[in-house]
Copies of this chain bind each other. A is one copy, B any other.
């Protein structure tokens, strides 16, 4: 089993309010992400946990009290929840262009030969990534706002999957939201 971890604990400081609940065609950005992801999954939330629970009452949501300390603290909470999985798919809540097909392609490339699966677009690493259980011990040692990418750069046995631009595009600013809205219309 691959557990799906949705990182939704950032403050989104370059955005007014909670960007993950900003709507495009009436659907929150995080809603687009969720509809591309299989079960079992866990959303790790921070400052906006209450709003996220209210908006998505069917999801398992974990409040990370250390959200200010950065992404590694959310990954570690999620890892604890999926400790018995073969791997975790780490998805970002602010990448609404991700599709079910892309996620299936990434998951479909996971095998015991991969310590991780990384989607790439024209040479640039993207998200979501699959981290295999052989990395869990090292993930436990991450701290601060370090994602898993830095760790992966030190690894052999990475599996890469060529994908479209959707694996690179996140929403950080109002301008990003306009651009993504255009693509989703």
Contact = CB atoms under 8 A, between A and B. Distances in A.
Nearest to A77: B60
Given A50-B49, A83-B84, A61 B63 contact: yes
Interface string A53-87: 11001111111110000000000010011111000
Contacts of A53: 49-50, 63
A61 B43 CA distance: 12
Interface residues of A, number: 19
Nearest to A42: B62
Contacts of A60: 62-65, 77
B58 A65 contact: yes
Nearest to A62: B62
Contacts of A62: 60-63
A59 B64 CA distance: 8
